Amino acid sequence: METLKLNLFGRAHEDFFIFNEKYLYYVGLWPDTNVSRNRKIIYYIYEMFIHVLSMLYLLITGIGTYEFKNDFVVLMSNLDKTLVAYNFVLKTAFFVLKRNDLKILINEIKNSGDRVSEGRKRLMISHIIVITALSTSIVSAFCLLSTVRGEMTVEAWMPFNPLKNKKNLLISMQLLAVTFIPCMYRAFAIQGIVCTIIMYFCDQLDDLQDRMRNLVYSVENEITMKKEFKDIIKKHVRLIGYSKQFTSIFKEFFLVQNLAVTIELCLSALMVSVSQGIADAAFDSSWTSWPAKLQKDLLIVIRAAQKPLKLSAGGISVMCIQTYSQALYNAYSIFAVLNDIVD
């Protein structure tokens, strides 16, 4: 394990994108053009197979969600759970469409002669490994917990009754895992390359700032200073060009990401509003003519409905517009502090 880790970081020192490219390759998103025709065909089949697995997950969970169309709570809960898969699959689809453009951009960056600090390289590799391991652990924990409770993590259609016995339940869990985990790893691989390019921009802009601050004019070093200033301008223009390419490649990616957050908030708001509507509907009923015992039961329903159904983030905060606004405020606060530290 230690040898593998050393080799991994060692190779990353030579090529900033080596780890990202390998990750994308293993999840079927980065075909190698410098191989034989037979290997290209095998890789293409492998890539299509993972595409099919992802679509199969959307299909069976979509049917499972539709089967509970009359149970509002289960319907909303399942939509919330499957939203992440739609997010991952859409991002992957747009990535495949723009993959060749991204390869061109990465090759231009590699041939530019720009350097990135060793600490940054290690940070990005560690970040991707930790996120992958942590997410796998969380998904596995939820699957195990659902199995112990004798219920499905996500409502999905199966050609058999998954809740009939433990064997059927385990088979169902394995089918869901086999179809979901590949699309999850693909999303992490894409997110990794996005973060790596952003970190590259940050390092290069920091380098330009340092070089600009260190420019000192004197008669003796006029020629050297002018050359350095010219190189800074050229690099800045080149980075602007890279940024435009990056924006063009990933604009749909960030659109899907933004829509996923928006839909999540809409689902939460819908659950809250419908839940509050139950209390209003109970009050509008002809309860005055009911027996006293039924009136007491109705009062319990009204009091229970006044506590709205809600989606929470780890049990810490409620998914609502206030939480979203607070998250934006916190993000800007952190940015302001870090910006002050950098300056």
Q: Print pLDDT tens along the chain (343 aa).
A: 444 444 444 444 447 899 999 999 999 999 988 889 999 999 999 999 999 999 999 999 999 988 888 877 777 778 877 888 898 999 999 999 999 999 999 999 999 888 888 888 888 888 889 989 988 888 888 888 888 888 888 889 998 888 888 888 889 988 998 999 999 999 999 999 998 998 899 889 888 888 888 888 787 888 888 898 899 999 999 999 999 999 999 998 888 888 877 776 676 666 666 666 666 666 677 777 788 877 777 777 777 665 655 544 444 445 454 555 555 555 556 556 555 554 5
Helix, strand, coil distribution of the chain in percent, nearest 5: 80, 0, 20
Work out whether the CA dihedral 150, 153, 155, 158 comes out positive or negative: negative
251 Cβ neighbours under 8 A, 6+ residues apart: none
Q: Are 201 and 120 in contact (CB under 8 A)?
A: no
Angle in degrees, CA 191, 75, 143, rounded to 5? 55
3-state secondary structure of 71: coil
In this prediction, residue 225 carries a pLDDT of: 86
Q: What is the pTM of this model?
A: 0.76
> CA 50 → CA 26, 177, 178, 179, 194, distances in Å?
11, 13, 10, 8, 21
In this prediction, residue 63 carries a pLDDT of: 92
DSSP collapsed to 3 states, 149-192:
HCCCCCCCCCCCCCCCCHHHHHHHHHHHHHHHHHHHHHHHHHHH
Name the burial class of residue 137, with classes exposed (0-12), middle (13-18) and buried (19+) by CB atoms within 10 angstroms of its CB: exposed
Q: Are 125 and 9 in contact (CB under 8 A)?
A: yes
Radius of gyration of the chain (CA): 26
Rounded Cα gap, residues 94 and 98, in angstroms: 6
In this prediction, residue 273 carries a pLDDT of: 60
In this prediction, residue 165 carries a pLDDT of: 87
Q: Are 143 and 24 in contact (CB under 8 A)?
A: no
3-state secondary structure of 142: helix
